[in-house]
Structure 1
Amino acid sequence: MADARLIQGRYQLLDLIGRGGMGEVWRARDESLGRQVAVKCLRPHGPHHDQSFTRVLRERFRREARVAAALQHRGVTVVHDFGESDGVLFLVMELLKGRNLSQLLEDNERRPLPVADIVDIAEQMADALAYTHQQGIVHRDLKPANIVRLTDGTAKICDFGIARLGADIGFTTRLTGTGIAMGTPHYMSPEQIGGEEVDQRSDLYSLGCVLYELATGTPPFDLDDAWAILIGHRDTPPRPPREHRPELPAHLEEIILHLLAKEPGQRPHDAREIGARIGAARTTSALTPPEVAGPAAPASREPRLPSWTRGMTTGHKAAGAGPRGTPPQGLAALCAEWTAPPAPDHDSAPDHDPAPVPVAKTTPTPSPSTLAALAKRHNAGLSLGRLGRWAEAGEMHRAVAAERERLLGADHPDTLASRYEVAFTLSRTGHPADALREYTHVAQVRARVLGPDHPDTLAARQETAYALGQLGRPLEAHQEYTAVLAARERTMGPDHPDTLRCRHNLAFNLGRLGRLEDSCRTAAEVATARARVLGPDHPDTLVTRYEVAYALGQLDRWAEALDCYREVAEGRERTLGPDHPDTLAARHETGVCLGRLGRSAEALGVYRELVADRARVHGATHPETLRARHGLGVNLGRLGRWEEALAESRDLCAIRERTLGADHPDTLISRREVAVALGWLGRWPDALAEYRTVAAARERVLGADHPDSLTSRSDEAHCLQQLGRGAEAVELYRRVAVLRERQATGGH
């Protein structure tokens, strides 16, 4: 995001304040309202990779935005705005001034917090969770790092990025992926670990883990082995907090242990009960919890932990101090061995050692258990990537790559596999130049070790082409794609999925080179082949068909584009469902095509139905709903129904101004449509006022020589001409022409 400092012409990114599973968080200035905000950004995958996962990642972000924006509570972070700008999904939140609980524990040298602070935080969290649970929302990743205490003492829950709507469990399950429980091992409930359905009582268990750590300085199961942590949550009674800290009030210990009951039915019924008990404890010396079975370990049974848990790290816990001493910090903690560590190899020393011990240059053969542990950590990195946690995945792969290089050598296929994944995470975290360097190295070594036509070599070369495209070097990317495609066709055949993916990328890159006819033809060939190999309704086939339609539109072949978009919409409805965002997107494009073809009455019908469906699925004020309403208004005007078009544009402009801000590009587009309608109705003085408002806002946000600003000034000049103010119109046209010429010559 460093190269895109202004989002939607409104949010000026100032400095990076954090990276998380869903992207980067920036401190920013809302230029429209003159306030500082936090902007969370996600740049989804490009079209070269797994399109279905890209859609999942985009939809998960949109789900986070919709869920978070609906929450209005003092204990929940406020969301101001969300949308998409130049391929970047963004979420605008209040900028919190304070420290998260993990930082507070670190500030306190990993000692427990004062009892008064714990009680205050617990009461606020119970109130916030009671509210969110009443809305049908389960956080699913409650931990100290996701709870911020402001300077005035207010505690707020952050990051509903993996929130689960209780009334929409099937949808969220698709977003998280079959068999993948989301959360952080130190704070996960037994049912979440077991891959079972979860409800608000899972959040209560996580709250118990957080309060346990605040009260004792260590999580309930403070183990360095992720498997042991999971077993502990499932089977082992937690050590009573007062064994760590005898002065802790008994009633607080009882509440914490009640929250940590293994079975959901043995925990408090809801968060309001916890809040009431904490409030009562402020005025009484002790509090007896309701009679429930104690949190004894269940009878011996076979482990029911799913297979995905074997690819997990321990994750970051808030504090590291525990009864076994200080565990490794940072990357060392993240990548700690889950089995007994291998015997030290004195051929190299850890980074923190003052110097390696000089010994003979011999590399002992690593044990099978060591290699298995590295493979698990490699798979854990892949899992983090599938969850969109690219920064963490990158740390994991870098550590595994270094260890594999030490044990196996720099040219070993496993070492190269890890370095390939390092490059992949660099590409996904906005470092294409670093990714290109890493991919180039992997490709060169694989060509030497495995051969130039080996599938792994070609995979690395194809990624170098993608990175070149990211860096604005499409000609070099084209040369690399062409060479890789020739090798894939020679060794794998023209219909192999990898060959077709490479041809799809090549078609996209041809568009970057301005070779629209070639791009369209190549994409059509890929779509035909994918339909034959994968089926006409396969998501990959439909993605390529969508790109064909887009290319046809760029070539002004709107009738063909219309047929293509309709086929895509019908296929997606059969495969993904009528309400899937991709289905609705294809329907929107059919409306665009109908309008371009002069078939505005049909387009109007498409947009009316789309507005209704978008409002039902996303809400009446969702950006995509409003975008469909914009199309409706435009086609009312094309039909000469200008009074209706004016009313629609004014209403839409008011909603966008209220939800997005007066200077938001979408708001200004709607205001321009208001001016257009006023002009067609002969109300030129009113139209002039609107055109001038749009022009002034665009110049303020984008600059006087931006193409949109120049278009607005041309609109203003036309309006002046209609009002008989020819001299002013000519002068304004002259100014616009000078700025356009200066822009065309690079400012000289």
Structure 2
Amino acid sequence: MGETRLIQGRYRLLDVIGRGGMGEVWRARDESLGRHVAVKCLRPLGPHHDQSFTRVLRERFRREARVAAALQHRGVTVVHDFGESDGALFLVMELLQGRNLSQLLEDNKNHPLPVPDIVDIAEQVSDALAYTHRQGIVHRDLKPANIVRLTDGTVKICDFGIARLGADIGHTSRLTGTGVAMGTPHYMSPEQIGGAEVDHRSDLYSLGCVLYELATGVPPFDLGEAWAILVGHRDTPPEPPRTHRADLPAYLEQIILDLLAKLPEQRPCDATELGRRIGAARTVPAYVPTVISAEPAARAERLPSWTHGMTTGPKAVGTALRTPPPDAGAGLAGEWIARPITGPAPLPVPDTPPDPPEDALTTLAGRHNAGLSLARLGRFAEAGEVHRAVAAEREHLLGLDHPDTLTSRYEVAFTLSRTGRAADALREYTHVARVRERVLGAEHPDTLAARQETAYVLGQLGRPLEAHQVYTSVLAVRERTMGADHPDTLRCRHNLAFNLSRLGRLEDSYRMACDVAEARARVLGPTHPDTLVTRYEVAYALGQLGRWPEALDTYREVAEARARALGPDHPDTLAARYEIGISLGRLGRSAEALKLYRDLIDDRTRVHGPTHPETLRARHGLGVNLGRLGRWEEALTESRDVGAIRERVLGPDHPDTLISRREVAVGLGWLGRWADALTEYRTVADTRERLLGADHPDTLAARNDEAHCLEQLGRGKEAVELYRRVAELRRQRDSHGG
């Protein structure tokens, strides 16, 4: 195939950039589009395959290639095209500028990589695996050579679906004398070795092998014979990585060992959970011990007796390094993790720490309360920093499973959900709920509270059906154990009412909100803040139903009641005034809305400051209504100012920042500057897709905006294609109940 030089009259092969058991990878030029690509050419099918098998294999290749091409994630290599030429199957992929992890280890003379690099790679690979596993796709041959780190630091996984093709064609490595098809021995899971059915947890085991090698310079079972390597994976506990590299943080060692558990159910449940653990280690300040622990016990002989006398052979790439180099960096500070060790064999753990001093716990309780106060003031980013620090110290003093530690992590999750990091919040809440269920029981109020918050962030992430299922299951327990009128039961019903609107069940949402408002008024009183919150929800439901005059009246009643009960400057009072402005705008009364927003901006600035998120929200409302009045130059200026402040204060990926960018695009469009508008619309759509997924409702809305802009630019063909893609994604989402 290499001699052909031109494939299908389009892809010109330039030079070989890689070879393996399945074929070659070429750097090539796509003559049609004028771009460089990578072409993976699988070896031609041999004469030992009969025609019927070949037909099945070709169809299998097309199916697997379509699956690979459908993967859209920054951590997965893009597949552009596939086909067959001169009897050989080929894939056309993006040409990556970077080094695979095997090459990185070689570049580093097979010394372990710096800890921050390992953690960054682990987090990015976990995110990519979480995405692909959600699509029902298992890689099956994850290894350093299949993971590439680009020059900008992005990490990408290659060859999804190709491992299974290789097994069919017969080009994968085989154990001598066994005839058992396999992947790469150093990175195979025990269930792969045993010929059992594999699922996503097999990829997690392989990732553990990769991380072990990055962290120590050697694979977990660095033995000379393939059979010895496989038996090591199947039967032998891995040596703790810190026996190779003493400076490795304890949390990272524990993550790697958990991934290398022999039984799939003993590993992290999925890549999302793994990412949460890695992210928590990155974001929670590590406890820095003041007392140096004793020297670790001497290494025990771990290999079974039948392997004695075996010599260590070369690993998959390069030469083994048994000790860290003298200049190895300390990396992240180590931390003791007081938690049960899972896996097939016990590992050394530190001595049980003494009971923590009361004054230290009292100080932490005070700092915890300070974090709560910051959150009540809407200073969620600062509150999150406080709670993360308190969580780290409580974890050290009390342990991972202590109720106080879990309370701090619950509050960390709360601040994450309020700062636009819903996915991170979901990981934290899920962890807290799981541990509370194990420690306190499934029906304990604290367990239910954590589960209820997971439903809330599922709603934020555009997964209302999953949120509905969690809410209804929590509500059933609350009604049975607490009663229908208990405040916590009513709070759950309130949240369920809001989520019903996300599911499009607007009438059901309105009826439930009315029922909860009536019950809260009866139990708590008509002016209780919780009653007013639900009446606020009734107004929202009315707006969703298009009953804006009734919504306006209800919002006004809530605002007046809050001003009397809470004061005119209370955040809840000001929030109701903001919604009055929304209702006025919807009713075409933009001049009144404009005056309301100017007054609200003055009050918000006086109470909270000019850069507070709610002040900026009021300014955003002002800009929207300037546009409705046809004052587009003023609207564009206001949107750009608000967007710049939001990007600085909240970050470029925050939902509010993206809303401002969209409003900038709207203004540019109305001013006839469609090319500039397209840039803004596309940025919003790409960012939402990266953060929320391609089929999230907000992403789809942004793609529709992009398609409309393409139409205005006379690029009708591109617009039609994008509209079709959006419609198909929406159809798939609806068919799966999303």
Of structures 1 and 2, the one scoring higher in RCO (CA 8 A, sep 6+) is 1
TM superposition score category, shorter chain reference: 0.3 to 0.5
TM-score, length-scaled by structure 1: 0.45
TM-score, length-scaled by structure 2: 0.45
